[in-house]
Amino acid sequence: MKVTINRSILELVEGDITHQDTDAVVNAANPSLLGGGGVDGAIHRAGGPQILEECKTIGGCPTGEARMTIGGRLKARYVIHAVGPIYKDGRQHEPDLLVSAYRSSLGLASRHKIKSVAFSSISTGVYGYPMETAAEIALTTTRRYLEGHPEIQLVRFVLFGMMAYEVYERVLRSMKEAGRLNEGGSS
Ligand code: APR
């Protein structure tokens, strides 16, 4: 599914974040930035040891923030390591921290003249964030950011498996139908 917001494209695809050819891919990292399972494991495996070497020089990242490294052997030139919140009950500032993780990632992209970004679904795996509420946060935060930042031409959400894709598609479609996308056209 693809929508336009002003002149930017926001699209959903089902696939693997490590295969994306955007300028940057966003890793679902932890505060140590020293790797893990899920997306983190896949990106470090596919990208190679240079990514971890650079992560070690950064010295960690607080929850709700993001840091950038090279992409190593990935097609993407850069990896933006975003640290989302561990979901407990939704009343421990998890929503604000998830918004912040997306905004920090997009802000880094703008500052580094990155024009296309592929996101994984932050916090919805090991960190246990319910997929639907996380999708609402991810898509609303991205839509709001793109409304004021035409320098980012493409934001792609790369969903792992059809279930995740269908949740994001349902949320994006409901945003469209509620007129919450001042879009130029969509498919
Ligand atoms: N491509 C795209 N999405 C993926 C991939 C992949 N190769 N592998 C997993 N996913 C999906 C998961 O299905 C989930 O929907 O990415 C989402 C995020 O899941 P996690 O990778 O578990 O990330 P998160 O929930 O943010 O937990 C972060 O997990 O791997 C550790 O080091 C990481 O401690 C950190 C924690």
Tell me the average pLDDT of the chain: 96
Average pLDDT estimate for 16-45:
98
Give the model confidence (pLDDT) of 126-160 as tens digits. 999 999 999 999 999 999 999 999 999 999 999 99
CA distance 33 to 56: 7
In this predicted structure, the answer to whether residue 182 has a pLDDT above a threshold of 70 is no
Which tens digit of pLDDT belongs to each residue from 41-84?
999 999 999 999 999 999 999 999 999 999 999 999 999 999 99
**Does 27 contact ligand 1 (Cβ within 6 A)?**
no
Q: How far is the CA of 179 from the centre of ligand 1 (A)?
A: 31
**Which amino acid does the sequence have at 42?**
A
Closest CA to 83 of 66, 104, 105: 66
Query: What's the rounded Cα separation, in Å, for the pair 185 and 187?
Result: 7
Q: Is the distance from the beta carbon of residue 39 to the nearest atom of ligand 1 less than 6 Å?
A: yes
Please name which of 31, 75, 70, 28 lies closest in space to residue 52, comparing C-alpha atoms.
70
Local confidence band at 180 (pLDDT 50, 70, 90 cut-offs): confident
Distance 28 CA to ligand 1 centre (A): 6
Average pLDDT in the 118-125 region? 98
**Catalytic amino acids?**
40
Q: What is the pLDDT of residue 184?
A: 52
Query: Is a pLDDT exceeding 90 seen at residue 27?
Result: yes
Pairing between β-strand 2-5 and β-strand 78-83 as defined by DSSP bridges: unpaired
C-alpha 121 to ligand 1 mean position (Å) = 7
| Ligand 1 binding pocket includes 20 (Cβ within 6 Å) | no
Residue 144 C-alpha to ligand 1 middle, in angstroms?
24
For ligand 1, atom 12, which residue shows the shortest CA distance? 125
Task: Give the tens place of pLDDT for each residue, 87-101.
Answer: 999 999 999 999 999
CATH fold of 2-164: Leucine Aminopeptidase, subunit E; domain 1 (3.40.220)
Nearest to 25 by CA among 66, 85, 84: 66
pLDDT band at residue 121, thresholds of 50, 70 and 90?
very high
pLDDT for 179 equals: 84
Bridge partner residues of 118 (DSSP): 25, 156
Task: Give the type of residue at 1.
Answer: M
Q: Is residue 47 in contact with ligand 1, taking CB distance under 6 Å?
A: no
pLDDT of residue 145: 98
CB-CB neighbours of 145 under 10 Å:
20
